[in-house]
Amino acid sequence: MPNILVIHGPNLQLLGRREPETYGTMTLDAINQQLENLARELDAHLRIEQHNSEGGIVSLIAEAMDWADAILINPAAYTHTSVAIRDAVAASGLPAVEVHLSNIHKREEFRRHSFIAGVASGQICGFGVQSYLLGLRAACNLCSSSHS
């Protein structure tokens, strides 16, 4: 059974109330529930974390080296700013799937660049909660292909 670390970045605890025209009305708890339901189907174990601080995310990724098989991450605003999170993902050596609720490529110019994308296995964005669910499927597939 693959162990997947799910990381929600800053401000995502506000989902449901935060800019619903961009991020939808689903709460973070509801997204996590859908992830847990899918994980059961895929026979995966999730540890789900939300952090507003960059250092908290960096530490989580470093600790994951000891137990996780893959990372599913929505780095939120740190996507566009954080060399530290990029380096943490690279240092972990774990396959990572980057997800975003919104399509970051059709929003403001500054959101088009992701520091994480270059060290992730892939990026899924623009599909709301489905970005996370597709991302979880991708992460599980990466784990099974690394075991075969």
Question: Taking CB under 6 A as the rule, does residue 79 contact ligand DQA?
Answer: yes
CA distance 84 to 88: 6
Choosing from 8, 23, 78, 132, the catalytic residue is 23
Residue 26: partners with Cβ closer than 8 Å, 6 or more residues away: 15, 16, 128, 129
Question: Taking CB under 6 A as the rule, does residue 74 contact ligand DQA?
Answer: yes
Question: Taking CB under 6 A as the rule, does residue 101 contact ligand DQA?
Answer: yes
CB of 26: closest distance to ligand DQA in angstroms?
Answer: 12
Q: Quickly tell me which residue has 């174990």 as its tokens.
A: 45
Q: Which residues are bridge partners to 49 per DSSP?
A: 7
Question: Taking CB under 6 A as the rule, does residue 86 contact ligand DQA?
Answer: no
Question: Taking CB under 6 A as the rule, does residue 104 contact ligand DQA?
Answer: yes
Q: Contact, 77 vs 104, CB < 8 A?
A: no
Choosing from 8, 51, 100, 132, the catalytic residue is 100
Among 13, 32, 102, 121, binds ligand DQA (CB under 6 A): 102
For ligand DQA, the closer of residues 11 and 121 by Cβ is 11
Q: Quickly tell me which residue has 């847990």 as its tokens.
A: 36
CA distance 14 to 27: 7
Question: Taking CB under 6 A as the rule, does residue 76 contact ligand DQA?
Answer: yes
Verify whether residue 100 is a known catalytic residue: yes
CA distance 45 to 140: 10
Of residues 6-35, which lie at the interface with ligand DQA (CB under 6 A)?
Answer: 11
